[in-house]
Amino acid sequence: MTDYVDHRAKVAERPPGIRVSGGHGTWHGYLIGYISAALLTTAAFVLATNEWMTPASVVAAVSVLAVAQMLVHLIFFLHINTAPEQRTNILAFATTMLIILIVVVGSLWIMSHLRHNMMPMEMLIKMQR
């Protein structure tokens, strides 16, 4: 995310809403993002609908493609980059990613352990009689 208004310019000289130095995207940037996102989605779709790979490797390949496409969106559409004035944005973004990682991986981890260690349902019902 880049600053939308060049705050260094005097308001009288530059109407608000004009962005700085193309940092906020150009036709070119949006088109590159669109075409690469479309290619990544189509690749994932084709891989998932054909029987070329084993199921486990399809899941891995499709996940990698999804992460790549999300990055394309973040860079070309949301304009998140590593410019120094974006330090706070990046920090907030990284914290969020950490929380998401903990929530998703943690849930899957705990629940798979639970499933593994739990008595089968039939046995549980038998014991309660």
Partner 1 sequence: MRQRITAFGFYLYLLSDAILFAGLFATFAVLHNSTNGGPTGHDLFSLKNAYIETALLLTSSLTCGMAMLACDGRNRFGALFMLGVTVLLGASFLNLELSEFSHLIADGAGPDRSAFLSSFFTLVSTHGLHVFAGLLWAIYIGVQLLRRGFSPAVMRRFFCFSLFWHVIDVVWIGVFTFVYLVGGRA
Site residues (vs partner 1, CB under 8 A): 1, 3-5, 7, 15-19, 24-27, 30-31, 33-34, 37-38, 41, 44-45, 48-49, 55, 58-59, 62-63, 65-66, 69-70, 73-74, 77-78, 88-89, 92-93, 96, 99-100, 103-104, 106-108, 111
Distance CA 61, CA 92 (A): 28
Nearest CB to partner 1, comparing residues 55 and 120:
55
CB of 107 to partner 1, least distance (A): 4
Residue 72 identity (one-letter amino acid): V
Q: What angle do CA 99, 101, 102 make, to 5 degrees?
A: 65
Nearest CB to partner 1, comparing residues 88 and 128:
88
99 contacts: CB under 8 Å, gap ≥ 6: none
CB of 108 to partner 1, least distance (A): 6
Burial class (CB in 10 A: 0-12, 13-18, 19+), 28: exposed
- Whether residue 52 contacts residue 80, with contact meaning beta carbons closer than 8 Å, is answered with no
Nearest CB to partner 1, comparing residues 50 and 128:
50
The torsion angles phi and psi of 21, rounded to 5 degrees, stand at: 35, 45
Nearest CB to partner 1, comparing residues 73 and 81:
73
CA 125 to chain CA centroid, Å, is: 43
CB of 44 to partner 1, least distance (A): 6
CB of 84 to partner 1, least distance (A): 15
